[in-house]
């Protein structure tokens, strides 16, 4: 007798979000882990999901004992941790990335956490193509304000290296 394999709820949610033609609301989840300044793990609806904050790119943290992280990497992680860890958040999905993480904006009440990371200088605007339905004008305006006031990553002036360039130089 063969048993039928039924896809887990996590896989089903990822398929739904990946195929959804525009923004989809995954709903309320509790953030149980912060990996770095732009990636978290959340649980809810009997599933566990890994979320990549869409529209932003935070400085890289060290990935091993002998690897240095990017300046402001740990500060960005700590700031995001203070905002979302052990809190119930609303996740608005925009599909998945190549690693299977859900690309999403995270909200607490009406506060866009992704946008807050940019406003405070703990992340820059993502330089790639945004997913359909994600409007970057507010993010770009927030980055300009943080850059002009020298907040966070922008306090480094000419020494600042974007996370994308940092990853290329270290891999």
- Pair 62, 69: CB distance under 8 Å: yes
| CA-based radius of gyration for the chain | 17
Q: Which of 50, 77, 101, 105 is catalytic?
A: 101
Active site residue 98: no
Written as six digits, the tokens of 128 are 């790639």
Active site residue 124: no
Q: Cα–Cα distances in Å, from 11 out to 2, 16, 24, 161?
A: 22, 9, 16, 35
Q: Which of 2, 33, 48, 52 is catalytic?
A: 52
Question: Hey, how many other C-beta atoms are within 10 angstroms of the C-beta on 97?
Answer: 15
Active site residue 74: no
Q: Which of 60, 77, 105, 124 is catalytic?
A: 60
- 86 CB burial (10 A radius; 0-12, 13-18, 19+): exposed
Catalytic residues: 52, 60, 101
């Amino acid at each position: 007798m063969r048993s039928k394999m039924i896809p887990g709820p996590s896989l089903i949610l990822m398929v739904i979000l990946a195929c959804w033609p525009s923004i989809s609301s995954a709903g309320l989840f509790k953030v149980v882990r912060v990996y770095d300044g732009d990636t978290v793990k959340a649980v809810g609806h009997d599933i566990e999901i890994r979320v990549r904050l869409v529209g932003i790119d935070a400085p890289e943290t060290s990935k091993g004992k002998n690897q240095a992280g990017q300046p402001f990497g740990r500060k960005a992680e700590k700031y995001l941790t203070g905002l979302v860890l052990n809190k119930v958040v609303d996740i608005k999905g925009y599909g998945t990335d190549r690693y299977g993480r859900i690309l999403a904006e995270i909200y607490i009440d009406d506060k866009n956490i992704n946008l807050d990371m940019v406003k405070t200088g703990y992340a820059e605007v993502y330089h790639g193509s945004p997913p359909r339905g994600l409007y970057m004008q507010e993010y770009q305006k927030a980055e300009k304000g943080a850059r002009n006031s020298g907040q966070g990553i922008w306090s480094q002036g000419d020494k600042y290296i974007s996370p994308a360039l940092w990853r290329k130089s270290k891999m």
